[in-house]
Amino acid sequence: MTQILIPLKQHVGAPCKGIVQAGEKVKRGQLVAEPNGLGANIHSSFSGKVVDVSEESVVLMIDEEQDFSSYVPIPETDSMIKAVEEAGVVGAGGAGFPTFLKLSCEISEGVFIANGAECEALLAHNVKQMSEHIDQLIRGTKYCMEMVKAPKGVIAVKGKHRQLVLRLIKAVEAEANIEVYQLPDIYPAGDERMIVREVMDVVLEPGQLPTEVGAVIDNVETIKRIAEAIEDRKPFIDKDVTVSGRVKQKETVFVDVPIGTPVKTLINNVGGYVEPHGEIVIGGPMTGRSGEETTPITKTSGGVLVAMPFPQEHRKVGLLICECGGSAERMTEIVNNMGAEVVAAERCKRMVEVNGRYRCALPGICPGQAKTVMSLKKQGAEVVMTGSCSD
Ligand code: SF4
């Protein structure tokens, strides 16, 4: 018998509140938790018996036989946006913002952008999805355009995926209002402000939302989950994931992994580790976080990346922090795992404080960092760890 843990916080906002009880039987697709403030519905991705409900998770003893081809459909709704809400769709690119809220706006002179940048290294599931389900991507984009009343849609994808770009251009030939935009092959090409700058030629101020200039942006997997909610009444119970790094079969994309699946199951499915191996990173190499073999896949897990063991470093480390790279906490964790000590930290000079949070003034247009590095050295740093995207 296998236990599966379904986290109650898989989104921006407060953890959901479990609505099932220990001992209760649940089916795949059944609603098990509802928002408690800002959040999104959570459904069971397996059939089984509830063994525990806490503030953090619903724990299931899952049935030995699972039918992943079926699920309890979401209730019929009188609008597309309600279906998105019922299905518990959140930003699958990693942000986790409840999608029905993002789509609850009107941009009658604006543009809806399907974000297919997939700009973190090693990740490949978004490109695979776009390659194999172009029609669904276009239908989903049209649903989103209709919901936000956008007269124009853009599918943004990196120009380096030449074959995919050509196929997308051909596929939208019949769509008068949808275009394909080719993004540069840089990190963070998927940053919302960078996409707005590229596609619309508008520079958003740090802290300014895309809707303020008439843009709504959703990751392409989010659009897949929106299309499934509208067309198939399917709740957001499965996630596309790339597994790579120090595993036997690299860069493997798993499509529709049931949420709650422990990452070790995916690592086993690619032949296990290449030894020696180090930490398991959940997400992309730039913004991922440290995980365990038991860490469950959630609505925002895009990658399971197995790193090499931490090299040992005894020199004093200075941190150079960038908005779109590892946070100061994450980099300090890495430095400590290397056996070293952080003696100084500086932000990239383009970082500005907005509402208590540091934002990049010009994502992807990165300055030289010589001055910042000199300052770290003056503070005693012998080496620098950078979370910045270039230079
Ligand atoms: S300008 Fe600085 S903060 Fe902005 S993306 Fe580049 S390195 Fe990161």
Whether residue 367 has pLDDT greater than 90: no
Please name the helix (run of DSSP H) or strand (run of DSSP E) that holds residue 333, with its range, or none: helix 328-337
Per-residue pLDDT band at 391 (split at 50, 70, 90): very low
| Edge-to-edge strand ranges of the sheet holding 238-245 | 252-258, 238-245, 303-306, 280-282, 289-291
User: What is residue 388's predicted lDDT score, i.e. its pLDDT?
Assistant: 65
| Distance (Å) of CA 243 to CA 7, 27, 268, 279 | 21, 28, 11, 13
Residues 6+ apart with CB under 8 A from 294: 5, 262, 263, 264
Q: What is the mean pLDDT of residues 246-259?
A: 96
Task: Single out the residue of 291, 306, 303, 305 nearest to residue 241, CA to CA.
Answer: 303
Q: Distance from the CA of 216 to the center of ligand 1, in angstroms?
A: 23
Q: What is the mean pLDDT of residues 8-15?
A: 95
Q: What is the mean pLDDT of residues 337-364?
A: 88
Q: What is the mean pLDDT of residues 246-257?
A: 96
pTM: 0.93
Structure tokens at 124: 């490949």
Q: What is the mean pLDDT of residues 79-83?
A: 98
User: What is residue 211's predicted lDDT score, i.e. its pLDDT?
Assistant: 96
User: What is residue 189's predicted lDDT score, i.e. its pLDDT?
Assistant: 81
User: pLDDT higher for 367 or 179?
Assistant: 179
Lowest mean pLDDT among 119-123, 151-155, 164-168, 188-192: 188-192
Per-residue pLDDT band at 390 (split at 50, 70, 90): low
The CB density around residue 371, as the number of other CB atoms within 10 Å, is 11
Q: Distance from the CA of 80 to the center of ligand 1, in angstroms?
A: 37
Question: What is the β-pairing status of strands 238-245 and 252-258?
Answer: antiparallel
- The rounded distance, in Å, linking the Cα atoms of 333 and 339 is 10
Four-point Cα dihedral 215, 221, 223, 225, nearest 10: -140
Q: What is the mean pLDDT of residues 42-62?
A: 97
Structure tokens at 141: 């984009």
Q: Distance from the CA of 391 to the center of ligand 1, in angstroms?
A: 9
Residue nearest to atom 1 of ligand 1 (CA): 366
Whether 258 lines ligand 1, by a CB cut-off of 6 Å, is no
- The rounded distance, in Å, linking the Cα atoms of 288 and 301 is 9
Q: Distance from the CA of 357 to the center of ligand 1, in angstroms?
A: 15
Please name every residue paired with 365 in a beta bridge, in sequence order, or none if there are none. Answer: none
Whether 119 lines ligand 1, by a CB cut-off of 6 Å, is no
Mutate to test the pocket of ligand 1, among 204, 286, 353, 362 (most ligand atoms within 8 A of CB): 362
Whether 194 lines ligand 1, by a CB cut-off of 6 Å, is no
Structure tokens at 351: 């970082």
Indicate the DSSP class of residue 296.
Answer: B
How high is the mean pLDDT of the chain? 94
- The rounded distance, in Å, linking the Cα atoms of 144 and 81 is 9
Percent of the chain with pLDDT over 70: 99
Rg (CA), the chain: 21
User: What is residue 188's predicted lDDT score, i.e. its pLDDT?
Assistant: 81
User: pLDDT higher for 313 or 222?
Assistant: 222
Whether residue 374 has pLDDT greater than 60: yes
Mutate to test the pocket of ligand 1, among 197, 350, 384 (most ligand atoms within 8 A of CB): 350
SS3 86: helix
Q: Which atom from ligand 1 is nearest to the alpha carbon of 349? A: 2
| Distance (Å) of CA 231 to CA 80, 136, 227, 234, 307 | 9, 10, 6, 8, 39
Residues 6+ apart with CB under 8 A from 220: 114, 115, 116, 126, 129, 130, 137, 155
